[in-house]
Amino acid sequence: MVWESGRVFSLRFTTLVEAPLTVAFDVARAPGRSWPTPLREVESDRPYSDVHVTESPTGRGRVTSARRFTATADGTLVDQRIDGGSGLRGPLGWVADRVLRRRLQRAVRVDLAGYVAAAEARAHEVVQVVGAALVDAGRVLVAQRSGGPYDGCWEFPGGKVEPGESQLAALVRECAEELGATVEPGDFLGEVPLDGVVGGGPRGASTMRVWAARVVSGEPVAHEHAALRWVTADELDDVDWIAADRPLLPAVRTLLTRS
């Protein structure tokens, strides 16, 4: 990218936040607290990406901040790219660009330190649900809820993470309770916001993270569900899923076609 006047620089910051995707995104809503000029949001695709712009302090150039939020097994990877320039030409522009670049670098570092702490603290306040896509011979186990608001809908075995419990420990515990089987978690598959799904809570109050897994001992039995079913990749779309789960189906389909 080249600005009409002056030169341009690029900065890149990659940060792992130990918080779910929705939390990492929602807490990041107001970036640029330490920036020289206020940022304006021009694009937002919650909880995946956003773009902000600001004028450079000279009033002649522009700075753009584009962030991408990706759910990973360990939390959320925040990838931020800043493109900007003072908008000034010649030797003065050269100096102004260097100063602006350094100020932004410092400002982002200060912002990130506060942001990571705030997101990780907030992560303890949201309801985190974990789910297991249990795979065997090209099929995945789906479980039918019994009672409650999603009575009759199908879901991944799993449930809420308890305070102080790790997500994978919760996954193994929930599968043992619900299926009477021991499971071993594998690859992380993805995360979906459960906005309003769990107890009708507000936006960002709950989220679900799903892992591929396999049964290592015992035969799954529906201890808490109405029924269990093993389904193939071709049958995935026809299942009457809890609606929030549907965005995870492409990842499950890929998993099944690989297994």
Residues of this chain that interact with ligand 8DG (CB under 6 A) are 129, 131, 150, 155-156, 158-160, 194, 197-198, 208, 242, 244-245
Tokens 């002649």 correspond to what residue? 60
Q: Of how many residues is the chain composed?
A: 259
> Based on CB atoms, which residue is closest to ligand 8DG, 194 or 228?
194
Amino acid identity for residue 186 in this structure:
G
Q: Smallest distance, Å, CB 177 to ligand 8DG?
A: 7
- Cβ proximity to ligand 8DG: between 205 and 208 the closer is 208
Extract the tokens encoding 17.
């936040």
* CA–CA dist 249, 259 (Å, integer): 15
Minimum CB separation from ligand 8DG for residue 45, in Å? 21
Q: How far apart are CA 139 and CA 129, in angstroms?
A: 22
C-beta of 110 vs 227, nearer to ligand 8DG: 227
CB of 122 to ligand 8DG, least distance (A): 19
What are the beta bridge partners of residue 241? 154
Pick the closer one to ligand 8DG by CB: 65 or 128: 128
**Amino acid identity of 259?**
S
Nearer to ligand 8DG, 100 or 212 (CB): 212
CB 154 within 8 A of CB 240: yes
Distance CA 78, CA 48 (A): 9
Please name the residue that has the structure tokens 């080249």.
2
| 29 neighbors 115 (Cβ within 8 angstroms) | no
CB of 190 to ligand 8DG, least distance (A): 12
What is the SS3 assignment for 103? helix
Measured from the CB atom, is 104 or 153 closer to ligand 8DG? 153
Least separation in angstroms between residue 167's CB and ligand 8DG is 12
Amino acid of residue 61: G
Q: Which residue is nearest to ligand 8DG (CB)?
A: 159
Beta strands in 137-245 (DSSP E): 139-144, 154-155, 158-160, 182-193, 206-217, 227-232
Q: How far is the CB of 82 from ligand 8DG (least distance, A)?
A: 36
Residue 244 C-beta: closest distance to ligand 8DG, Å: 4
At 162, give phi and psi (nearest 5°): -85, 155
Q: Which is nearer to ligand 8DG, 63 or 208 (CB)?
A: 208
